[in-house]
């Protein structure tokens, strides 16, 4: 299974905000830190804000912060929000796709089971799990280290 680049950026953004809870980093600062497109990151931040994971503080000295504690942001929740569609093969699409063997194919059930197992694993972790007691990550992402 392959996740889209927006999901990757969302996870990086959330981990960055978790490491820097006391700061209000901006989109521009985070984009520069990860050497990624500011415009792409802005779209990701907008989606995360609509999903209730982050919030923007406007005005001078403003920036982004987590909308709730990192222990309350599930990795699976974020992946579901950012991905939207887990149709890894045509027959899992909402409309059933156009595969000739779909009515009698058992592979559809196997792929559905694998997807559910993948998401169940992600559901066991939070952003806090990824950042807490991770000295090396904190060193890489800390605004102070910049």
Residue 22 lies in domain? 5-141
What residues contact residue 29 under an 8 Å CB cut-off, 6+ apart?
63, 143, 146
Report if residue 31 sits inside a domain.
Answer: yes
Report if residue 130 sits inside a domain.
Answer: yes
Report if residue 38 sits inside a domain.
Answer: yes
pLDDT at 85: 79
CATH number of the domain where residue 120 is located = 1.10.10.10
Structural domains in the chain (count): 1
pLDDT tens-place string over residues 13-23: 999 999 998 89
Report if residue 23 sits inside a domain.
Answer: yes
| DSSP assignment string, 29-82 | HHHHHHT--HHHHHHHHHHHHHTTSEEEE-STT-EEEESS-GGG-BHHHHHHHH
Report if residue 34 sits inside a domain.
Answer: yes
- Whole-structure pTM value: 0.88
pLDDT tens-place string over residues 103-124: 788 888 898 899 999 999 999 9
Q: Which residue has the tokens 């409309």?
A: 95
Report if residue 85 sits inside a domain.
Answer: yes
Report if residue 146 sits inside a domain.
Answer: no
């Amino acid at each position: 299974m392959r996740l889209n680049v927006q999901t990757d950026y969302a996870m990086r953004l959330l981990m960055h905000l978790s490491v820097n809870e006391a700061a209000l980093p901006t989109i521009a600062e985070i984009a520069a830190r990860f050497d990624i497109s500011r415009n792409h990151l802005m779209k990701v931040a907008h989606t995360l804000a609509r999903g209730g994971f982050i919030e923007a503080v406007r005005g001078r000295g403003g920036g982004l912060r987590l909308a709730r504690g990192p222990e309350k942001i599930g990795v699976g929740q974020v992946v579901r929000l950012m991905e939207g569609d887990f149709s890894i093969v045509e027959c899992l699409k909402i409309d059933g796709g156009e595969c000739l063997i779909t009515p009698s194919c058992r592979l559809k059930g196997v792929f559905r089971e694998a997807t559910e197992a993948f998401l169940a694993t992600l559901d066991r972790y939070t952003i806090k799990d990824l950042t807490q007691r991770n000295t090396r990550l904190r060193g890489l992402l800390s605004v102070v280290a910049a």
